[in-house]
């Protein structure tokens, strides 16, 4: 496993190329106020509208503009099952990126990312602050889920309040 953020990104890009997949890069600056982590991208830009629009509105609601969005599996392969299992090296690479970047907070989107990083399904992981690699994090519903189930937006808002410390 590479030892720097830049080297990990290059390693992930090379993996995407070997898979003949479009790579969804994530520039993760050290000490960012917030890093958002999803499982896999929905499209070539990570999140497709209208999920991207809802995500941007969620971030605006907590006063954050365009936080880094990183995918545990950054290889975008149209037609790949969204729930395909992760290579354990991808989870380790994300953990290493978190440890190196030391963002102030993490927001984990969706069940698959929660299971990978928190070893718990989303419904058990959400609603409380936790730690991943020494960084305070909160797991919440993926914007795509919220579009299909608008009744869960209230719970997502509660999660965002926990994330910002306004519980």
**Per the confidence metrics, is the pTM higher than 0.75?**
yes
- b/e per residue, 52-80, with b = 16+ CB within 10 A? bebbbebbeeeebeebbbbbbbbbbeeee
DSSP character string of 3-36: SSHHHHHHHHHHHHHHTT-EE------TT-S-EE
pLDDT at residue number 157: 98
Q: How confident is the model at residue 81 (pLDDT cuts 50, 70, 90)?
A: confident
pLDDT at residue number 166: 62
Residue 96 has pLDDT above 90, yes or no: yes
pLDDT at residue number 158: 98
**Domains with residue ranges and CATH for the chain:** 5-164 (3.40.470.10)
pLDDT at residue number 106: 98
């Amino acid at each position: 496993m590479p030892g720097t953020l830049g080297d990990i990104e290059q390693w992930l890009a090379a993996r995407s190329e070997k898979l003949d997949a479009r790579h969804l890069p994530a520039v993760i600056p050290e000490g960012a106020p917030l890093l958002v982590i999803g499982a896999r991208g929905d499209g070539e830009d990570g999140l497709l509208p209208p999920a991207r629009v809802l995500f941007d509105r969620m971030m605006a609601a907590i006063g954050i503009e365009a936080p880094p969005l990183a995918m545990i599996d950054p290889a975008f392969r149209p037609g790949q099952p969204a729930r395909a299992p992760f290579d354990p090296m991808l989870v380790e690479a994300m953990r290493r990126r978190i440890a190196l970047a030391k963002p102030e907070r993490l927001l984990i989107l969706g069940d698959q990312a929660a299971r990978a990083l928190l070893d718990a399904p989303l419904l058990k992981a959400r609603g409380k602050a936790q730690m991943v690699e020494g960084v305070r994090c909160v797991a919440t519903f993926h914007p795509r889920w919220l579009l299909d189930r608008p009744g869960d937006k209230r719970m997502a808002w509660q999660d965002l309040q926990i994330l910002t410390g306004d519980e």
